[in-house]
């Protein structure tokens, strides 16, 4: 069915097999075709070239759309397009090659029409590849003139959706919570690697089919426990792909079953009584999402109703703006994942990994692009696309999947704020001093992850559910939460929720799933007493964590926390940490859009030092690069960033970053005596000597005291040369995360290799052994601040190898201490020796069994 739009494109306007040497030549050629078709004046080619110098006309997926300057519209006689097919591609921008150059001469809406078709075409990779090499111009003609051609082709995968590919296997969902976002991300990550090699993989449930590499598509299948699915594949290595996917799918079952059990246990407290008020007060019933009891001033987080402006702008700049915002959001999410992994643990960080997969959904992009080509502003188009998709998710019958709508809106909101900073929502990160109960319609995972438990004592929301990501995060943070309060609180206060303001007090009984508004003096006193009783019980339970990590034969190891901000000190100490063995300063740079000044850094280091009241504080200088990219530093792109200018290598090349940081550190050291400096990613003695010289220059210029300077041992070269390095530094701290990836040549972020990146691998342990022995030659202490330190078995092996300090995520402290306290040092040494003698990580891990 041909389009009714009057837009000239004939086969004679399509030049196949062109081989222009440059972008300008390609534009000239396409201009000549338009002139020959009598659609434009001869000067139009020059206008197209000029346009190129003011804006980028590369659309993506090998398509470029040169068009003239707005002021040259009068040169257009008739709306037309011309196509140059360049099978070998012509370089358009750095690293971007155009294979289809679509010259557009259009006065009005036709420009949008052709863009809409091209955007659709871009979603259909198969057809696009065909057009880039075909010898049949009618194919190109059909794709560009016929709205339905690209649409139908796009849907082709779904029409015969209910049939499986020849290679297949059946599986019955045994995840108690169904296929929710976290496992769906793992499935799609595993499938993507194969899809990139040209293999098609689909998941079918009854008549519904999803592309296995599309996480949102998988979610929309709404799979529940007990559902039968057929997973099938087509292509060269279809069998291999299925075998690997099956392994990923089934290996998740155990964790899913355990997680569901834990969540159920956490919520069992509902039946456990709770507070009995002394005088009459009406409870407002909700659903418990996180146990515990708290009271405080209401802090009402008003849901800001955002007025999304619809300001149309040229498509190219709009799509540029959208892709910049998406890129920025992905980087922000990466830093959130990093932060949460280190602060709360890898499990909770998966929530944000799943969000990042939601963001990469192609359908979401198509929806947004189509709104933009239809002439809507970028913010409006994005918001609309997110709402359409979120509503689709929300209407899913499986509540776990429906709950992902809030994740999509959460991530959508981050993008919106990156498109236009005035579209930022109200935030909870800068609460005034005090103890609050946050009241809101609902909280997003981002809101909750950013809460400061020192200020936010409880959460009460009108909407939400006990299995939401917000509930999971609240439980990890130890903040009592009651959700699904409906509008009952609103009713009680009259109709306006906004009236909640700061004037009210709220009691949150997370154990009973109830809240109480404005208790009387008598009830408040009783609530305080109840809270004190609970605190006493908690203290009793916490006592174990506050005991030192001393073996039964009286050998002690120092236990530190890895934290990055002063407001995390309280939590770390209450979890039983005795010092801070690693403060990753890059987070000061990652969490904001610009570089903190020397004064700002100084204030943070000083506050951190003061809050620790004399306890050791090891501050690591910036470790940027590898997995930690900071957009605003605009560092050059590297093919292989983990092997590139990272850590100390970057510091030595960017004195503008290092010197202010060193000055801030020495200025703080003039006021507190517990600061130690640590340099990351050291590979040679000469690096250490140069870094120490800079430290000395800064120190003497400020007349600051000398402070211990240590280094991280995280590459095999440093471990092997430990005896040489030890001569020049005060201490070592082993970064087992990097040491593992560099020793085993296993990218620490590659999900496919996650199961192989084991720090308990004997090769890693032998390098640690070598490091300790090297340090002992110069009587230098060795700590470990990588993930292995927080693993109870790993911690014992490290202690047995002679490590004297372990620093970890605060939540890991209790289990590590408890494990060490049960053992004698003689046993721990024997354990380490055994581990060194094994040939595989599996054998070392099996030691765990004999540990209990
Ligand atoms: C490590 O590599 O083990 C480490 C502690 O540093 P990071 O995780 O910040 O790279
Ligand atoms: Mg590291």
Contact 780, 726 (CB under 8 A): yes
**Which ranges of 634-750 would DSSP assign to H, the alpha helix?**
648-653, 655-669, 685-702, 716-720, 722-726, 736-744
List Cβ neighbours of 229 (8 Å cut-off, separation of 6 or more): 170, 171, 172, 173, 203, 204, 205, 221, 223
Pick the closest to residue 164 from 218, 126, 206 (CA basis): 206
The residue whose CA has the least distance to atom 4 of ligand 1 is 735
Q: Is the pTM value of this prediction over 0.85?
A: no
Residue with the two structure tokens 């306890």: 615
Task: Give the Cβ contact number of residue 544 at 10 Å.
Answer: 12
Positions of E strands within 228-306: 228-234, 284-285, 287-290, 293-301
- From the number of C-beta atoms within 10 Å of its C-beta (0-12, 13-18, 19+), residue 199 rates as buried
Question: Which ligand neighbours the alpha carbon of 622 most closely?
Answer: 1
| Spatial distance between the Cα atoms of 381 and 318, rounded to a whole number of angstroms | 10
Pick the closest to residue 510 from 186, 840, 272, 204 (CA basis): 272
8-state DSSP, 621: P
| Spatial distance between the Cα atoms of 368 and 376, rounded to a whole number of angstroms | 9
Q: Which residues of the chain have pLDDT under 50?
A: 1-5, 109, 148-161, 268-272, 493-498, 849-852
Pick the closest to residue 662 from 678, 673, 646, 647 (CA basis): 678
Pick the closest to residue 800 from 840, 847, 756, 841 (CA basis): 847
8-state DSSP, 281: -
For residue 383, indicate whether it is catalytic.
Answer: no
List Cβ neighbours of 840 (8 Å cut-off, separation of 6 or more): 761, 762
Backbone angles phi, psi at 47, to 5 degrees: -65, -40
Inter-CA distances, 468 with 356, 451, 463, Å: 17, 16, 11
Distance in Å from the first CA to the final CA of the chain: 72
Contact 290, 262 (CB under 8 A): no
Atom number of ligand 1 nearest to Cα 788: 3
Q: How far is the CA of 714 from the centre of ligand 2 (A)?
A: 6
For residue 778, indicate whether it is catalytic.
Answer: no
Query: Any idea what the Cα angle at residue 494 is, between residues 490 and 497, rounded to 5°?
Result: 40
- From the number of C-beta atoms within 10 Å of its C-beta (0-12, 13-18, 19+), residue 343 rates as buried
pLDDT at res. 160: 40
Question: Which ligand neighbours the alpha carbon of 740 most closely?
Answer: 1
Q: How far is the CA of 290 from the centre of ligand 2 (A)?
A: 33
8-state DSSP, 179: S
pLDDT at res. 400: 66
pLDDT at res. 155: 35
Backbone angles phi, psi at 790, to 5 degrees: -90, 0
Contact 105, 34 (CB under 8 A): yes
Query: What is the SS3 string spanning 409-435?
Result: HHHHHHHHHHHCHHHCCCCCCCCCCCC
Helical (H) or strand (E) element with 244 = helix 238-251
Collapsing DSSP to helix, strand or coil, 444 comes out as: coil
| Spatial distance between the Cα atoms of 814 and 460, rounded to a whole number of angstroms | 29
| Spatial distance between the Cα atoms of 183 and 194, rounded to a whole number of angstroms | 18
Atom number of ligand 1 nearest to Cα 584: 9
Atom number of ligand 1 nearest to Cα 738: 2
For residue 728, indicate whether it is catalytic.
Answer: no
Q: How far is the CA of 69 from the centre of ligand 2 (A)?
A: 51
**Selected catalytic residue, list 383, 469, 579, 761:** 469
Which residues, listed in sequence order, are joined to residue 561 by a DSSP beta bridge?
A: 580, 808
Domains of the chain: 11-144 (3.40.930.10), 168-269 (3.30.1340.10), 284-304+427-528 (3.50.30.10), 315-423 (1.10.274.10), 550-846 (3.20.20.60)
Collapsing DSSP to helix, strand or coil, 163 comes out as: coil
Contact 450, 429 (CB under 8 A): yes
Residue with the two structure tokens 């880039």: 132
Ligand 1 pocket: which of 623, 682, 715, 747 to mutate (most atoms <8 Å of CB)?
A: 623
Which residues, listed in sequence order, are joined to residue 14 by a DSSP beta bridge?
A: 83
**Selected catalytic residue, list 67, 111, 154, 376:** 67
Backbone angles phi, psi at 333, to 5 degrees: -65, -35
Task: Give the Cβ contact number of residue 720 at 10 Å.
Answer: 15
Contact 479, 459 (CB under 8 A): yes
Residues lining ion ligand 2 (Cβ < 5 A) are 714, 735, 738
pLDDT at res. 398: 67
Contacts of the segment 190-198: beta carbons below 8 A, 24+ positions apart: 190/244, 190/245, 190/248, 190/751, 190/752, 191/241, 191/245, 193/752, 194/233, 194/235, 194/237, 194/240, 194/241, 194/244, 194/245, 197/235, 197/236, 197/237, 198/235, 198/236
pLDDT at res. 616: 98
- From the number of C-beta atoms within 10 Å of its C-beta (0-12, 13-18, 19+), residue 192 rates as buried
Plot region of 453 (φ>0 → left; ψ -120 to 50 → alpha; else → beta): alpha
Query: What is the SS3 string spanning 347-396?
Result: HHHHHHHHHHHHHCCHHHHHHHHHHHHCCCCHHHHHHHHHHHHHHHHHCC
Backbone angles phi, psi at 285, to 5 degrees: -90, 135
Residue with the two structure tokens 């800068």: 430
Look at strands 549-550 and 556-562 and give their pairing. Answer: antiparallel
| Spatial distance between the Cα atoms of 101 and 540, rounded to a whole number of angstroms | 72
Both structure tokens of 414: 């981050």
Q: How far is the CA of 207 from the centre of ligand 2 (A)?
A: 47
pLDDT at res. 593: 66
8-state DSSP, 40: B
Inter-CA distances, 591 with 5, 72, 337, 563, 585, Å: 49, 46, 12, 14, 11
Q: How far is the CA of 839 from the centre of ligand 2 (A)?
A: 25
Q: Which residues line ligand 1 (CB under 6 A)?
A: 582, 584, 623, 714, 735-738, 785-786
Both structure tokens of 630: 């900071």
Q: How far is the CA of 808 from the centre of ligand 1 (A)?
A: 11
* Burial track 404-426 (b if 16+ CB lie within 10 A, e otherwise): bbbbbbbbbbbbbbbbbeebebe
For residue 504, indicate whether it is catalytic.
Answer: no
List Cβ neighbours of 367 (8 Å cut-off, separation of 6 or more): 384, 385, 388, 389
Question: Which ligand neighbours the alpha carbon of 794 most closely?
Answer: 1
Collapsing DSSP to helix, strand or coil, 537 comes out as: helix
Question: Which ligand neighbours the alpha carbon of 783 most closely?
Answer: 1
Collapsing DSSP to helix, strand or coil, 711 comes out as: strand
pLDDT in tens, 457-474: 999 988 777 667 788 788
- From the number of C-beta atoms within 10 Å of its C-beta (0-12, 13-18, 19+), residue 431 rates as middle
| Spatial distance between the Cα atoms of 607 and 325, rounded to a whole number of angstroms | 33
pLDDT at res. 660: 97
- What share of residues in the chain are helix, strand, coil (percent, to 5)? 50, 15, 30
Both structure tokens of 285: 């019933």
pLDDT at res. 304: 67
């Amino acid at each position: 069915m041909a389009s009714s739009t009057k837009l000239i494109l004939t086969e004679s306007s399509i030049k196949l097999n062109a081989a222009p040497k440059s972008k300008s030549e390609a534009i000239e050629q396409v201009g000549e075709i338009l002139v020959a078709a009598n659609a434009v004046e001869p000067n139009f080619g020059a206008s197209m070239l000029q346009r190129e110098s003011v804006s980028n006309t590369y659309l993506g997926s090998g398509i470029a759309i040169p068009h003239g300057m707005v002021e040259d519209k009068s040169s257009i006689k008739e709306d037309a397009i011309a196509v140059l097919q360049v099978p070998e591609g012509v370089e358009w921008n750095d690293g971007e090659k155009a294979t289809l150059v679509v010259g557009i001469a259009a006065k009005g809406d036709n420009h949008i029409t052709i863009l809409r078709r091209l955007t659709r075409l871009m979603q259909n990779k198969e057809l696009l590849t065909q057009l880039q090499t075909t010898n049949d111009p009618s194919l190109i003609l059909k794709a560009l003139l016929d709205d339905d051609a690209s649409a139908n082709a796009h849907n082709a995968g779904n029409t015969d959706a209910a049939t499986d590919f020849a290679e297949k296997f059946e599986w019955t969902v045994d995840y108690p919570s169904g296929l929710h976002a976290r496992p769906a991300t793992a499935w799609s990550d595993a499938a993507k690697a194969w899809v990139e090699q040209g293999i098609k993989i689909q998941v079918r449930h009854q008549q519904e089919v999803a592309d296995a590499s599309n996480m949102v598509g998988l979610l929309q299948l709404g799979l529940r426990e007990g559902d039968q699915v057929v997973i099938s594949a087509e292509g060269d290595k279809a069998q291999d792909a299925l075998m690997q996917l099956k392994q990923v799918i089934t290996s998740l079952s155990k964790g899913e079953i355990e997680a569901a059990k834990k969540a159920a246990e956490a919520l069992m407290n509902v039946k456990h009584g709770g507070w009995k008020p002394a005088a009459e007060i009406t409870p407002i019933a909700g659903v418990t999402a996180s146990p515990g009891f708290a009271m405080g001033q209401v802090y009402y987080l008003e849901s800001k109703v955002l007025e999304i402006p619809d300001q149309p702008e040229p498509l190219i700049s709009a799509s540029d703006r959208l892709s910049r915002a998406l890129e920025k959001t992905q980087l922000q999410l990466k830093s959130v994942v990093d932060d949460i992994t280190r602060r709360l643990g890898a499990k909770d960080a998966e929530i944000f990994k799943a969000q990042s997969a939601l963001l990469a959904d192609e359908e979401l992009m198509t929806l947004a692009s189509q709104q933009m080509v239809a002439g809507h502003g970028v913010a409006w188009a994005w918001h609309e696309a997110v709402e359409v998709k979120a509503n689709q998710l929300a209407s899913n019958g499986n509540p776990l999947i429906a709950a992902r709508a809030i994740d999509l809106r959460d991530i959508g909101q981050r993008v919106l704020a990156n498109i236009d900073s005035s579209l930022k929502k109200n935030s909870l990160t800068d609460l005034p001093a005090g103890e609050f109960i946050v009241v809101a319609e609902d909280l997003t995972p981002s809101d909750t992850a950013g809460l400061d438990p020192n200020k936010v004592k409880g959460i009460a929301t009108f909407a939400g559910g006990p299995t939401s990501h917000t509930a999971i995060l609240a439980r990890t943070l130890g903040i009592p939460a009651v959700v699904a309060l409906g509008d009952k609180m609103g009713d009680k206060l009259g109709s306006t929720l906004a009236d909640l303001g700061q004037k009210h007090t709220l009691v949150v009984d997370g154990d009973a799933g109830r809240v109480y508004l404005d208790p009387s003096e008598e009830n408040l006193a009783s609530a305080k007493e109840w809270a004190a009783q609970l605190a006493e019980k908690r203290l009793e339970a916490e006592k174990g964590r506050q005991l030192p990590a001393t073996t039964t034969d009286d050998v002690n190891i120092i236990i530190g926390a890895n934290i990055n901000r002063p407001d995390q000190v309280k939590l770390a100490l209450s979890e039983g940490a005795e010092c801070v063995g690693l403060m990753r300063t890059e987070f000061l740079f990652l969490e904001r859009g610009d570089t903190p000044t020397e004064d700002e850094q100084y204030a943070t280091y000083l506050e951190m030092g003061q809050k620790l009241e004399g306890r050791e504080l090891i501050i690591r200088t910036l470790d940027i690069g590898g997995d930690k990219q900071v957009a605003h530093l605009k560092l050059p792109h590297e093919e292989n960033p983990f092997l590139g200018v990272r850590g100390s290598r970057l510091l030595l090349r960017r004195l503008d970053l290092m010197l202010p940081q060193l000055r801030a550190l020495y200025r703080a050291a003039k006021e507190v005596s517990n600061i130690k400096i640590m340099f990351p990613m050291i590979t040679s003695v000469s690096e250490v000597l140069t870094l120490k010289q800079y430290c000395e220059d800064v120190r003497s210029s400020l007349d600051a005291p000398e402070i211990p300077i240590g280094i991280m041992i995280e590459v095999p070269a440093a471990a092997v040369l430990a005896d040489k390095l030890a001569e020049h530094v005060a201490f070592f701290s082993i970064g087992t995360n990097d040491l593992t990836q560099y020793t085993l040549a296993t990218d620490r972020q590659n999900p496919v290799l996650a199961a192989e990146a084991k720090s308990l691998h004997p090769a890693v342990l032998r390098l640690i052994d070598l490091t300790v022995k090297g340090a002992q030659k110069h009587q230098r202490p060795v700590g470990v601040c990588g993930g292995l330190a927080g693993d109870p078995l790993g911690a014992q092996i490290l202690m047995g190898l002679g490590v004297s300090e372990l620093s970890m995520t605060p939540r890991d402290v209790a289990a590590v201490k408890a494990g060490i306290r049960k053992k004698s040092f003689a046993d721990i040494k024997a354990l380490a020796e055994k581990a060194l003698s094994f040939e595989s990580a599996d054998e070392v891990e099996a030691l765990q069994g004999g540990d209990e």
